[in-house]
Amino acid sequence: MRAIKSIDKGSQIYNTYGNLPNHDLLRRYGYILPESKDDLVEISTDLLLECLPKYTDDELQRRINILDEEDIFEESYSLLPAPLPRTPIIISRYLATD
């Protein structure tokens, strides 16, 4: 650890791990912060696809390719408490629309 300024002997110092969501704090350091403003939920694209209408493999791949070309198709999406991010909503609507 490095200090960015001189520390007087006997002074209390604080260490922060940064603005991490609770799942990272728990996995890395063994604790969580109740009501953390940095908390989030990740949803995998595989789970998202399982919840949508069943398309043929070709049709699903065609739709995924279009989203991938627009650079908005990811392996997972982070959902913050509020506001809900638009990307997973856009992808869900697009994939679910006939």
Confidence of residue 10 (pLDDT cuts 50, 70, 90): very high
- Nearest one of 5, 13, 39, 37 to 25, comparing CA atoms: 39
For 52-67, letters b (16+ CB in 10 Å) and e give beebeeeeeeebbeeb
For the entire predicted model, the pTM comes to 0.48
- What pLDDT is attached to residue 45? 86
